[in-house]
Structure 1
Amino acid sequence: MQQPQAVHGPCVWRGTDYRNPADWVYTLSAQALADIDRAVRHAREAGLGLDEITPAEFDLPALAGDLATMAEILHSGRGFVRLQGIDRARYSDDELGIILWGLGTHLGIGVSQSQRGDRLGHVQDRGEVGRYYGIGGPIEVHMDPVDVTGLMCLTPAMHGGATPLMSSFAVHNVILAERPDLLPVLYRGFHYGSETVIKGGLPITEHRIPVFNFVAGEPDCFFLPAAIRGPNGEPRDALPAIEREAIDLLQAVADRPDMKIDMLIDPATVQFINNRVILHARSDYADWPEPERKRHLLRMWVMMPAWPKRPPEVQMLRSTDRAGGGIAKAEA
């Protein structure tokens, strides 16, 4: 086990460092918006499925340099980017999904998010217990088991529903300073498994996955509490007290006001985050009374082949879709 030490670099930040949205929001130019419009129209007219939408098919010349910069920010910068300026009223929900997917293909490779083989996840209260994105209300601090998550808002909540972002290694450093005795517990990590994973033929991990780790010298965080709670079918209370304490402290530190950026994602706004260095959550919200106005976001999972590959002993999903990530579609 690696000896805990303070981590430094652009991915280590506090929410107080990014209070000014101008520091992290990219407003699309008229030329970029025109490129996006041409690209989505081409995809529709050609009848392209999501897997057929490639950077060549979704050509964005006015954004090429900016997308390369965004990929660098995700990998070795602050770990999150946001794009705004798309006209929500101009596009259907399906077209906005094409836009999110098309932008994501310029960063990496889109992968499936469930055994159903869905390329775009629908983040909406459907009462789908077992998956964070299928339930309403607040969501605890976690990351997604994929390199990058992309989000696009279709319909915001009536009230609330912010998506706080936190630097996982800023949280690491606070724990190192305040409770260094708990860091070895997080470096040792946890066994992972859930009903969803088991049904997909993916057994509970026999190995522990460290919460804080380094892959090819790069910081790497893996923290998915929903899948920690049920190893071997046992309740979370069955975990040793020191492990529960470490989990609780990590979540409490991440939730401190100075540690997080509380982001509300406006309609047609796009956000990409690096799950290896960013934790996220969701604040409580109130939906509109009309069913068609329920809070609704689209989610894309992206693998980054150019990044150092996580070795098997720090992965939860053993059966993958593409590019070494995602969840393979269940056989009929």
Structure 2
Amino acid sequence: MGTDILALQVRQVAAKGGQTLVASSWKIYNDLMIERPDVVDVLAQPNWPVHMSDRKTRYTLAPLLAFEDNRLLFSFDPSRLGAHPAMKTGRSSRATQVPELTPAQVEALSIVSAIAERNNVTLDTQPGDLVFINNWAVLHARSAYEDAQGDETTGLASRRHLLRLWLHNSDQGWKIPESMRAPWETAFGYTDEGYISAEQEKIVTRLKYAVVPESKYKPARYTTGSAAFTIVDSDSENDEESETE
């Protein structure tokens, strides 16, 4: 959620699985209108709690589906919807509890996922491939995967490794409805006041992108503090007790 174009550079692939799966938002929408038009109504309601960053409330309420300039825009990321389990531990004094999803919203997510799965197309990518996905018009996912056993010291020969960029073109990008702008503005570094804050500058300058995978993979720690959601959701960035995804 929150980007126009998802760009992926495939540097290494898994020994088994790990393919990128894509499904047309229009196909999903058309199937929903035939099978479950009530779910379309649920998706279009501006009451979905979406995890946010650098905002006092820590979340915003937005629709997952909208029309703008005769285009269907679908913003769908289940991991950023509703209360994350890590927020229920009570260890963080910063986080405001995000509302739970309603039964109708939980059902809607399940139905959309099922329709996307039956209509998905597998991208058989290889090392060196570049993938560009219209994030408003196409849903994407990753299949389960297994890495082969590589060198015990480095482990670099066989680990699945992709580099990701979130892209936006101010001139050619789709017009985004006001109801969906908040997650998008978070991803591209805008605060409520419309500029990048000093704290955001600090976050950007310390980001490091692993062109070569590290010898030991460390899962990202859960957060509501960045667009990528990989900064700890606690008062201390060095808090080793924070939950992981």
Smaller-chain TM-score bracket: 0.5 to 0.7
Distance in 2, matches of 1:317 and 1:253, equals: 25
**Paired AA for residue 264 in structure 1:** D
Which residue is equivalent to 1:270? 130
Any residues of structure 2 matched to 1:135-150 within 5 Å, and which? 144-150=1-7
Contact 1:202 1:317 in 2 (8 A): no
RMSD of aligned Cα (Å): 2.5
Map Cα deviations across residues 257-286 of structure 1 (whole Å, 9 max, x no partner). Answer: xx1111121010111110010000000101
Distance in 1, matches of 2:8 and 2:114, equals: 25
Which residue is equivalent to 2:113? 251
Distance in 1, matches of 2:120 and 2:138, equals: 10
Say which of 200, 204, 209 aligns to 2:58. 204
Q: Whose helix proportion is higher, 1 or 2?
A: 1
Q: Shift of residue 217 of structure 1?
A: 2.2
Map Cα deviations across residues 92-114 of structure 1 (whole Å, 9 max, x no partner). Answer: xxxxxxxxxxxxxxxxxxxxxxx
**Paired AA for residue 330 in structure 1:** Q
Distance in 1, matches of 2:64 and 2:111, equals: 13
Go from structure 1 to structure 2 and tell me whether the alpha carbon gap of 1:202 and 1:286 turns closer, same or farther (over 3 Å shift): farther
- For the pair 1:303 / 2:175, whether they are aligned, the reply is no
Give me the TM-score of the superposition, normalised by structure 2: 0.65
Give me the TM-score of the superposition, normalised by structure 1: 0.49
Q: Shift of residue 312 of structure 1?
A: 3.6
Go from structure 1 to structure 2 and tell me whether the alpha carbon gap of 1:289 and 1:303 turns closer, same or farther (over 3 Å shift): same
Contact 2:63 2:179 in 1 (8 A): no
**SS of residue in 1 equivalent to 2:27:** helix
Which residue is equivalent to 1:242? 104
**Paired AA for residue 251 in structure 1:** S
Go from structure 1 to structure 2 and tell me whether the alpha carbon gap of 1:309 and 1:204 turns closer, same or farther (over 3 Å shift): farther
Distance in 2, matches of 1:246 and 1:175, equals: 10
Distance in 1, matches of 2:38 and 2:163, equals: 40
Distance in 2, matches of 1:261 and 1:284, equals: 15
The percentage of aligned residue pairs carrying the same residue is 28
- For the pair 1:282 / 2:108, whether they are aligned, the reply is no
Q: Which has the higher contact order (CA 8 A, sep 6+)?
A: 2
Contact 2:49 2:98 in 1 (8 A): no
Which residue is equivalent to 2:50? 192
**Structure 2: unaligned runs, 5 residues or longer:** 85-95, 203-245
Contact 2:3 2:184 in 1 (8 A): no
